[in-house]
Chains A and B, each alone.
Chain A
Amino acid sequence: MATTAKLQNYFEAFNEMEARGEASEPVWLHQLRSEGWASFSANGFPTVRDEDWRFTSLAPLTRTPFRRATAADDLIPGIEALHLSGAACRLVFVNGRFAPGLSATGNLPAGLQVSSLVQALGDKTGGAEQHLGRYVNLRRDAFAALNTALWEDGAYIRIRRGARIEQPVHLLFLSTTGGAPTMTHPRTLIVAEPASQAVIVEDYVSSGNGAAFSNSVTELVAAGDAIVSHYLVERENYDSFNVSTLRIEQARGANVSSHSILLGGGLVRNNVHPVLNGPGAECLINGLFVGAGRQHLDNYMLVEHASPNGSSRQFYNGILDQQARGVFHGRIVVHKDAQKTDAKQTNRNLLLSDDARIDTKPQLEIRADDVKCTHGATIGRIEDEPLFYLRSRGLDERSARNLLLYAFAAECLDRMMEQPARDFVEELIQKRLREIANAEQQASPSSQEARADASPEEVA
């Protein structure tokens, strides 16, 4: 199945990267790309026969002929509206390429180093080389392999030993869509040195309508006792394809939080894969996915406990309306030596229509004997009792529904501790929930009756 017609476009893209890379890239990087390509081209895209992809068909993605995006200029009207105010710095990537003119990297707090990944690899003292590609599994993960073969740029963030950076680093990945379908493969490397602290916000946005495919890979390396919060915000248009892979490597006592907020995108796959590779590491995997229309939002969590005394918490809430589909696949692997592991997983879902669907699947693989692992999932609707309670106090049905949706989402928001990142995310969530509540209201027959009641003169 190697280079079938479906993979032709990717093959061409790889050839272009090869031709360019041979001249400018170091040998090890060139080899890494080739490895990625070899693995991807040997296996192709996964299918629903693959257990990890059982609930998500990639047919709409594989039949779309994506091409590498052409370079976009530095002028994006209205980009200010996308900014995260109060950020320590902002790196903007347009169609996968660093846009220095749109970025703000001056006056960095002491101990924070940021640049594009290409720049970082040019700087031999930066330390990017020793980590890049070390953590993702190219043989098992087709999208990580494809990204490794085709990435053009991304962010490099390094937090020096002991530095505590409170303001978030905002990474804005913008796809300018509208013409032929384009693809980008952003690659990000985050290195948090011992006892450092940072907040990173990875934000995917499209400018314009039409299909684009973002296939991002982020490797987050948290050294001993580092504290890192990572936010993923997916707010691309509903024709977009977005596959993101966050691979977290945690050393002794490192504490990492991953917050995924999926609001946009048509076909979205969110892979979060922490490996607790040092005793006493802690990780929080927190997420909210909100889908309507024909959105398909797939969350694949793989939490690996490879050392003793680690703790992991997974909390994912889903809100699905109309024909939207959600997937939560929560896999916990406890390796033989990871005694005293404490792992917990909860997935709660709210279905707002008869056609919405959620597939939720816990998967525990425990090879140690002294561990605590629990999992649970719920699927429900907006309940009558609280809705009536709110309405009996004067809130109209739409506001009451909106408030209940917000309350459900707030369970995830309450686990996001860092300002201003939390407020930034909250505003985006509220906007999306208002859209959903408004659409709900228009679709419900009782409200049409109410409208007729409210304006009899229109009827007459």
Chain B
Amino acid sequence: MSLLEIKNLRAAVEGHEILKGVNLTINPGEVHSIMGPNGSGKSTLAQVLARRDTFEVTGGEILYNGKDLLRMKPEEAACEGVFLAFQYPVEIPGIGNAYFLRSAINAIRKYRGEDEMDAMDFLPLFRENLKLLEMDEKLMNRSVNEGFSGGEKKRNEILQMAMLQPKLAILDETDSGLDIDALKIVARGVNALRGPERSMLVITHYQRLLNYIVPDFVHVLVDGQIARSGGPELARELEETGYGWAEPATQQALPA
């Protein structure tokens, strides 16, 4: 059975339709990449999958692990194993990183009917993942993302992903704002989490990230629909040709 099955998904924000019939199937263990020009609906798709209610789903369905994802609240989707690495991670002054992470882990465990994780079990795991992402433990005593650099915020997203062990990880433009060293660290963190039990949807504007996280499938989203699909070679092709072929859409729409 596939892990994620998106069928003819349509979504709008403030009456403006952004996703215009997206079809996508992801099987367990697969890494898919969605590329596309700005404004094509990549981030909207990510947010709908994470169940953000600012987007109104106007048609279609999403089956996740055989369940109706569109009926889930954000926390239910998270507890069912959906994880979104944010394009713009949110700063939350007053809540410590470590405390936040442990609360999240325990909320998910509680949902699954498992025992809470105590500090004794949490700390070694936490330290191991901090090391993987080359993050300073001192940073973790600070508030969530507060005063973090752009790179630190993105690494923190992957750290959370490593701690929460999702079934479906959605990476929304995780490469934006990263220098090459930070990009390598993030990619290493992501690759360490690849496995037969985990699927990934890597959203990016540039091919660069896909040199380090090599996807099984690449899809190009244009104007709210998947225009092309292929293997990793499609990403390289796009690097050379750009999205020019996809962009005159507005011109075509003009009366001749």
Identify the A interface with B (CB < 8 A): 384-386, 388-397, 399-400, 403-404, 406-411, 414, 450, 453
Contacts and interface: CB of A to CB of B under 8 A. Distances in A.
A393 B161 CA distance: 9
B78 interface: yes
Given A384-B54, A389-B89, A395 B94 contact: no
Contacts of B25: none
A407 B94 contact: yes
B11 interface: no
Given A394-B107, A394-B108, A394-B164, A385 B90 contact: yes
30 contacts: A385-B90, A386-B90, A388-B52, A388-B74, A390-B104, A391-B74, A391-B78, A392-B51, A392-B52, A392-B78, A392-B86, A393-B160, A394-B78, A394-B111, A394-B164, A395-B103, A395-B107, A396-B73, A396-B75, A396-B107, A400-B75, A403-B103, A404-B92, A407-B93, A407-B94, A410-B94, A410-B95, A411-B94, A414-B94, A450-B73
Contacts of A395: 75, 103-104, 107
Interface string B102-125: 011101100100000000000000
Interface of B: 50-52, 54, 71, 73-75, 77-79, 83-84, 86, 89-90, 92-95, 100, 103-105, 107-108, 111, 143, 160, 164
Contacts of B160: 393
Given A386-B92, A389-B90, A406-B94, A399 B107 contact: yes
Contacts of A391: 73-75, 78
A422 to B, nearest CB: 15
B78 A407 contact: no
Contacts, number: 76
A453 B104 CA distance: 23
A82 to B, nearest CB: 27
A144 B140 CA distance: 48
Contacts of B71: 453
Nearest to A412: B94
A392 B161 CA distance: 11
Contacts of A390: 92, 100, 104
A389 B92 contact: yes
B93 A411 contact: yes
A107 B242 CA distance: 80
A314 B156 CA distance: 34
B91 to A, nearest CB: 8
A211 to B, nearest CB: 35
A393 B94 contact: no
A220 to B, nearest CB: 29
Closest 5 CB pairs of A and B: A407-B94, A391-B74, A393-B104, A410-B94, A394-B78
Contacts of B107: 393-396, 399
Contacts of A388: 52, 74, 90
Nearest to A403: B95
B164 A393 contact: yes
Nearest to A407: B94
A392 B84 contact: yes
A383 B73 CA distance: 17
A389 B93 contact: no
Given A384-B54, A408-B94, 13 more contacts: A389-B92, A390-B92, A393-B107, A393-B160, A394-B107, A394-B111, A399-B103, A403-B95, A403-B103, A406-B95, A407-B93, A407-B94, A407-B143
Contacts of A409: 94
B129 to A, nearest CB: 15
A407 B142 CA distance: 12
Nearest to A393: B104
Contacts of A385: 90
A251 B121 CA distance: 52
A290 to B, nearest CB: 15
Contacts of A407: 92-95, 143
Which of A394, A400, A406, A410 has the largest number of chain B CB atoms within 10 A?
A394
Contacts of B84: 392
Nearest to B101: A393
Contacts of B52: 388, 392
A440 to B, nearest CB: 16
Nearest to A391: B74
A39 B74 CA distance: 61
Which of B71, B78, B83, B105 has the largest number of chain A CB atoms within 10 A?
B78
Nearest to B91: A386
Contacts of B105: 394
A400 B75 CA distance: 10
A392 B50 CA distance: 7
A384 B90 CA distance: 11
A450 B143 CA distance: 31
A397 B73 contact: yes
B102 to A, nearest CB: 11
Contacts of B79: 394
